[in-house]
Structure 1
Amino acid sequence: MAIPTLNPLPVPPTQATPEQDWPDMADATVTAEYNLVLQLNAETIPGINSAVESINSAALESGQNAQAAQTSAGEASNHKQAAQESAEAAATSEGNASASAGVASGAATAAGQARDQAEQFRGESEGFRDEARQFRDEAQAIVIGDAIDDTAINGTQVRSSLNDSIGNFRNVAVNADAAIGPLDFAQITATAAAVTVTLPADPLEGQLFMIGNLTARRDHRIAVGAIPVKGQASGGFILIDKPNITITLKYTGPTYGLEVMQ
């Protein structure tokens, strides 16, 4: 059966997108990515599994055909041997020599044809087997590869990078300097001194980070290293100069860097 195609994603915001359009376009992109995972689980992956089963069945049938062809080749070889023995016996009788030679020639032709047919079946079966292995490997790469994160597929949990953009945030209490990862919600509660929340040095495109200043301080910082912020050099830090505020950052790539979502 044909594997359903995926619904197209909306146009994501880019560096050229006006700032006032960013929230709506970003929300649409995140929602579409979430629905993409649902569609993969409901339609695409079951279709791939069904295709793999069909290919494996065809490969098994091809192997059985090849075995039958090899058996036919063995029988043909036996006929050829018998024909050769008949030809030797016919040589002792000049009267029967011509008839025996004809029988031997016919048997040799049949044997050659059977051998050629067996070779053809064997070649075809090897081709089907290689094709089945290729489809199986491609299907496994799609199911387990870098397309779905923390999503159950046939009862198995798999993880890669996609869900770093659309999954649920994990609450991380921060009362001292700390490093966070994708989908971490760093909740700063330190009031005695300023703290620094450090982002990964090499995030993947589309990953999200949330930092909340739950205090009245105006000097907590976010360490971003050499990553630009909205296409501009940041000097390595983003200053959280407002109390009781939550900032969501999305990594858009090495050129534009981090986008401040809110």
Structure 2
Amino acid sequence: MLLALSAGLAASAALRAMAAPIVPPLDLDIPICRGGLRRVAEVPQRDALTPEAADADFLEKMGLLEGHLIVGRRLLEAGQARLAVPHFGHPIRELYTWLEPRLASRRVPGFERELEVMEAWAEGGNAGTDGRFGEAWTSLAPKLTRAKRAVDPQRLASARFMLGHVAMMVYDVASDYGESIERGRIVNVVEYHDSMGFLAYATQTVAEQQAAGRAPAEWVEAAGVLEELRRLAYAELLPPGRLPTSVSSVRSRSDRIQAIAARVQA
């Protein structure tokens, strides 16, 4: 009877585990956005890249960092400080380490201090985004804008180049979405939120390009692709109990935006 009871309790625990997402501990040792950071390590030295490739690479890493911050802020606003911590901590120690010398070479100010303040805010379990966090966010916003504007202005004004950037960001969405899955379920909530943040950054970028009035039809189409993906895979802040869609389905959206970019002349 005791054996049967033990077996029943074990089965019940297993069912509960299957029904709910795994919440990672605060002292995570695994690298965040593993796919993106692996690409950071593999990319050739900047002087081995063409100027256009170097700009695309720099802008992608800025997008990865900003995507972390966007989803981290959303988690704080939802009272999920514990889940927000990695999205402020790992950008400092991994993405920012790569970005810092490139910011200097492009003669734009760094922003490590703001990232440290926001990480400390989340680590302190603070709810909301006011106080020191709000001050750091306000200070950081123009620095992020200035850093992105360090890319060649002609490329920033090119719908083809910027659509390619958005397509790359959606490829990163698919990479980290894939990292979140094991045996057909989302088990790594941090990686899932990475991918959500990268999609939010891509959506923000599309909105900015639409406001600028460049290639309006193509940007409207791209916005539709991103909204379709958001509804499909990221309808709620926390992941669902069942896998909402396949990795190949997410990656296909990157291909669709790349195809839109290929139709644009400049």
TM range (shorter): under 0.3
The one of the two structures with greater contact order (alpha-carbon pairs below 8 A, sep at least 6) is 2
| TM-score, with length taken from structure 1 | 0.25
More helix by share: 2
| TM-score, with length taken from structure 2 | 0.24
More strand by share: 1
Larger radius of gyration: 1
